[in-house]
Structure 1
């Protein structure tokens, strides 16, 4: 199990709340970026104001009724329930405006705070879209794999091919029931291991050329990897035995990595913004107040397997 040592004590409540909203979508395991539809077809009209189908779907995602990116069946009970609640919300908002409640000073302040919270959420979503990419997730996974497999010994076998097409064809046969060993003897281009069923013996994963360390980590004991390319050609890899505990696969580790990278980006932007900002107690002109720039002193620490070093409350 991995632990993330992230110093969140000095990250604002707004940013943390925004991060949680974004992580619900980012940690789902869906690799594709999910476009957010703005407006589009109307679901209904309330006193001349539209409620859009996209509004209903986004609200259903926020409530955990459907995964992000999945359409909501317009005939479903969930759709009708969410739509009815949005209609009620619209009616209440319209009545509040009719009574001019929004013009009261306390109401205006609360509306401003709500707007700032939403803008913060949008900033976090933008940061995640730009920085928490598949490439950054892959880089961090590779780093974690190197740490976790530093003292590992794994018995592996492989089949070497000249082309991707050959590798894909043999992989499909193995998935259909053909034995890895028979496919190695029949198809491998590695003359040194071909007649040994592709066996490479026990190896230290980190001593192998890229991308072998990651592929070894991402393949469970007894399983066969998908075809991948190295400097020597195309391979299919089988993990036969491990003398130490296997690391998590990329899919298993992805939500934790997304969490870490997202909090890291929030920490970075807040550190930058606080360094540039003038923040003083009591507001401008307060007696005895002097501008005191504040900054976030610490970056999120690297991922660590040492659970004793994890600050309380940061365990994922």
Structure 2
């Protein structure tokens, strides 16, 4: 089973686009962070500011940088985007001077743009609250379980009592020692130490956590960093696979984050539609109410008010 069951209606991706650019980028920030807008002034256009945060947001939207990544004014792409934002503000100022924003069509388009932006802000809020690294870990473990349902993997391990022992052995392997040369004198698993730690071909899902995830994240022929189980600390080697390995967590993270985001959008839309009053138009022309609000009157104070 190789296809990931991460499917939602495609039209929801439009609502989530702005947040996904921030939430799914491979950055050093966690999924729970909301970008802070830098209000340092990059330029003034007829007295109106263009902020550094505007430049960075535009760069993220174009895929030039990840959310939260440094974007120096010395970068050529920074200069290009800033010049384009200056041109955009000049054109907006001229449109306002010509009062195009006061025409009915202009006002409606501005309102639609405002609605899109508010929707994206809501999505960003949902990402901050729900698309956490813990949620991504949980879904990744489930995806690994599904994808390794029929897998057979040949693995070996070294088992020791403490993290310090495991870390020391792992450093030796990183420095050139072979996994096999360290098993006999260090592993406390008496059943496998005479066999270079070999556990044979196993179904990863038959093993205790976190073995399935560790196996998924360890390429064939490579050794995993130390990890802990109820038996102690392990270093694991994946010797062979009889099936295609699943994607690693980092490879799958953007897809999982996108799915979680769209799932939250779908959930809140279902609630909002249930609570809302929605009526299909009958073809009539909409005429907003022009009835002035009733004036607020105040009665003269009575004897009790004196």
TM-score range, shorter chain: 0.7 to 0.9
| Cα offsets for 1:24-64 (capped at 9, x unmatched) | 33333335235523243211111221111121111111112
1:253 aligns with 2:244: no
Closer, same or farther in 2 for the Cα pair 1:166/1:76, shift >3 Å? same
CA distance in 2, matches of 1:218, 1:35: 28
Unaligned segments of structure 1, at least 5 residues: 287-316
What is residue 302 of structure 2 aligned with on the other side? none
What is residue 236 of structure 1 aligned with on the other side? 235
Per-residue deviation at 1:171?
1.2
For the Cα contact (< 8 Å) 2:29–2:68, is it kept in 1?
Answer: no
Scaled by the length of structure 2, the TM-score of the pair is 0.85
CA distance in 1, matches of 2:245, 2:75: 43
What is residue 8 of structure 1 aligned with on the other side? 9
For the Cα contact (< 8 Å) 1:31–1:134, is it kept in 2?
Answer: no
- Return the structure number with greater relative CO, CA threshold 8 A, min gap 6: 1
What is residue 117 of structure 2 aligned with on the other side? 118
For the Cα contact (< 8 Å) 1:154–1:240, is it kept in 2?
Answer: yes
Alignment of 1:286-297 (within 5 A): none
SS in 2 for 1:141: helix
For the Cα contact (< 8 Å) 2:34–2:124, is it kept in 1?
Answer: no
Per-residue deviation at 1:230?
0.9
Give 1 or 2 for the bigger CA radius of gyration: 2
Corresponding residue pairs, total: 282
Alignment of 1:148-297 (within 5 A): 148-282=147-281
What is residue 24 of structure 1 aligned with on the other side? 21
For the Cα contact (< 8 Å) 1:174–1:180, is it kept in 2?
Answer: yes
What is residue 132 of structure 2 aligned with on the other side? 133
CA distance in 2, matches of 1:281, 1:40: 43
CA distance in 2, matches of 1:47, 1:255: 41
For the Cα contact (< 8 Å) 1:154–1:202, is it kept in 2?
Answer: yes
CA distance in 2, matches of 1:4, 1:210: 22
Per-residue deviation at 1:5?
5.4
| Cα offsets for 1:130-168 (capped at 9, x unmatched) | 111111111111111111222222111111122222222
Closer, same or farther in 2 for the Cα pair 1:66/1:29, shift >3 Å? closer
SS in 2 for 1:241: strand
CA distance in 2, matches of 1:252, 1:5: 15
For the Cα contact (< 8 Å) 1:161–1:187, is it kept in 2?
Answer: yes
What is residue 55 of structure 2 aligned with on the other side? 56
For the Cα contact (< 8 Å) 2:26–2:66, is it kept in 1?
Answer: no
For the Cα contact (< 8 Å) 2:43–2:51, is it kept in 1?
Answer: yes
Unaligned segments of structure 2, at least 5 residues: 286-306
For the Cα contact (< 8 Å) 1:66–1:72, is it kept in 2?
Answer: yes
Aligned-residue RMSD, C-alpha? 2.1
Per-residue deviation at 1:187?
2.0
CA distance in 2, matches of 1:49, 1:185: 72
